[in-house]
Structures are given as C-alpha cells and as structure tokens.
Amino acid sequence: MKLSNSFFYTLRENSKDEDSISSNLLVRAGMIKKSSNGMYMIMPMGKRVLSKIENIVREEMDAKGAQELLMPALIPEDVYIRSGRRSAFGSNMFSLLDRYNKKYVLGPTHEELFAMAASMDGRSYKDFPYNLYQIQTKYRDETRPRYGLIRVREFIMKDAYTFDIDEAGLDVQYDKMYDAYCRIFDRMDLNYKIVRADTGAMGGLLSEEYQAISNIGEDIVVGCEGCDFSSNLEIAEVVDTKEPSSEEKKEMELVETPNAKTIEEVAAFFGKRPEDFVKTLLYKVDGKVVAFCI
C-alpha cells in the first residue's frame, strides 16, 4: 500500500494526557490513541507492530506443542463464584446484567474456562499432556490506570495452561514454557529479568515474572550482583544478619517520659542509644499523649 493512501500520521506536540515518555511517543508516532482513561485504540501502524509481536509468540508457543484456542470475554459470574475467586477480584472485575437480569462479567483472566475446556478430554492418562493457549482481550477495572499501555483497563494477554497427570509432568511443561518465554523476549531484544513473584489472585505454588527493566513501571525488582538471585520486592525475603542480642529480657512496664518527644530524647532519658529502639508509637488516650517504645 502506498504511504499516501494509508492512514498514517505523526504529531509534533507532546500529548497532554500521557504520564510517561513511552506512551507519549506511541501517541506521537500514531501507534495508539486514548479513547478514555485506561482505554486505547490501536491504530494501523500500531496494529502492524502488534501483529508481529503476536506472530513471534505464536511461533514459539507452537514450537513447544501448544495449541491455540479462543475463549469468550463475556462470562457468567457464576463461573467465578464457583471457583471462589469472585470475591478475590472484587471491584476490579467489570460486571453487567443481560436482558434477563443474569449476571455476567468481562473476563479479567480465564483459568476457570480453561479448566472447563480441559474437562472435555482427559479420560485416560494417554490423553496427557497438552497445552492450551490464547491471545485475547482482558478487562480489569483498575483504580488508577496510568503509564499508557502499562496499566490499563482493557489489554491483550497471551495466557497458556498445561495439563498433565502429575506434578512431575507439569514441571516438564513448565520448563518448556520457561524456555519459550525466554526465546520470545530474546527475539524482541528486550532487557528483562526473570524474578520470583507473588501468585496473587491466580493462586498456585510458584510464580515467576519476566520483568522488562525500565525506569518506570508497576513493580520494583531486586537482585544480587554476585549471583543469579532476583525477586519482586513484594515477596523478597528479609534475612536477619545481625548477631543475637545478649541483653536481658525484661517485662513490659509503663514508664513516664516527661518532655521527651523525639526518639533521641527518649533514648537519652533511658540511657540508651536511638539504635536500641525499634519503633516509637504515639497514642492519644483520654486526652493524654502516651509513647510506646519498642
């Protein structure tokens, strides 16, 4: 197609309602256009890029024996009630009524439906293993959409689910997906880290995230320069490296500390160092301020 006949444009001025450099550049390049808070149109040039990304994902997933399907976005609410996850999603889930007043939701994720699909087969151990995946739109009523396409209310997700006869088989399938994801991000030439993460509302025994390293984002990634350890800060373990205290354990008691308002003043009052106190809490009880030093 000739460029003169294509729907392609660029903008000279910065977008006034974008809060990140990346989203501003995408708008100026004519890739996306915001239709409402957390909702974007993917313009023709952006759709070409998106299609190339989807093709890379499909090639690597298909190479691992995964099979693509497509789930509906409109799902009966009962599906999530039966799984016990309706309350976990809460107000983050878009909900609506049809003309017969039956409750539906817009799918924020599709584990339940994949389990329903998997129940149609698997009558014998010979039917396993298999891997099902889709590339489909998800909906989440985010409290604060931001950073362009990073935190939105409508987004495209590739989700895959493997089914096997035991955990050992699932571990094999997990390793295949691990390798597929690495190949996907390597082909896109992304700077990323694989970090241990919280399983959240999805549940499960283990969650690992492929985090693109950026100056902005939704998570903080911590790692070790001397080893391959990396983790999402939300679940990073805090290791106590201090020597056990040799101080005598004492009973808790109420002590007046007149005119001692700061931790330094309280420490001086007790003849201690500020480092000897973990926290000082101030409470107002019956019109009086009481300090708890721990």
pLDDT digits (tens, 9 = 90+) for 18-40: 988 999 999 999 999 999 999 99
Question: Which pTM value belongs to this model?
Answer: 0.75
Measure the CA angle with vertex 227, ends 222 and 229; round to 5°: 40
Instruction: Give the model's confidence band at 189: pLDDT under 50 very low, under 70 low, under 90 confident, else very high.
Output: very high
CB 38 within 8 A of CB 145: yes
Neighbours of 59 (CB within 10 A): 13
Q: Domain ranges in the chain? A: 17-189, 191-239, 263-293
121: left (phi over 0), alpha (psi -120 to 50) or beta: beta
Closest residue by Cα to residue 282 from 274, 294, 273:
294
> In this predicted model, what pLDDT tens digit does every residue of 164-176 receive, in sequence order?
999 999 999 999 9
Determine the average pLDDT of the residues in 84-110.
95
pLDDT of residue 130: 92
Instruction: Give the model's confidence band at 112: pLDDT under 50 very low, under 70 low, under 90 confident, else very high.
Output: very high
Backbone angles phi, psi at 142, to 5 degrees: -65, 140
pLDDT of residue 8: 85
pLDDT of residue 291: 60
Decide if pLDDT at 202 tops 60. no
Decide if pLDDT at 133 tops 90. yes
pLDDT of residue 292: 61
Options 3.30.930.10, 1.10.10.10, 3.30.70.1400, 3.40.50.150; CATH for 17-189 is: 3.30.930.10
State the Cα–Cα distance between residues 293 and 266, nearest whole angstrom: 8
Strands 32-36 and 39-42: antiparallel
Determine the average pLDDT of the residues in 219-237.
77
pLDDT of residue 168: 92
State the Cα–Cα distance between residues 282 and 290, nearest whole angstrom: 6
Decide if pLDDT at 201 tops 70. no
SS3 string, the chain, reads: CCHHHCCCCCCCCCCCCCCCHHHHHHHHCCCEEEEECCEEEECHHHHHHHHHHHHHHHHHHHHCCCEECCCCCEEEHHHHHHHCCHHHHHHHCCEEECCCCCEEEECCCCHHHHHHHHCCCCCCHHHCCEEEEEEEEEECCCCCCECCCCECCEEEEEEEEEECCCHHHHHHHHHHHHHHHHHHHHHCCCCEEEEECCCHHHCCCCCEEEEECCCCCCCCEEECCCCCCEEECCCCCCCCCCCCCCCCCCCCCCCCCCCCCCHHHHHHHHCCCHHHCCCEEEEEECCEEEEEEC
State the Cα–Cα distance between residues 278 and 265, nearest whole angstrom: 15
CA torsion angle for 75, 76, 82, 88 (degrees, to 10)? 60
Backbone angles phi, psi at 221, to 5 degrees: -105, 130
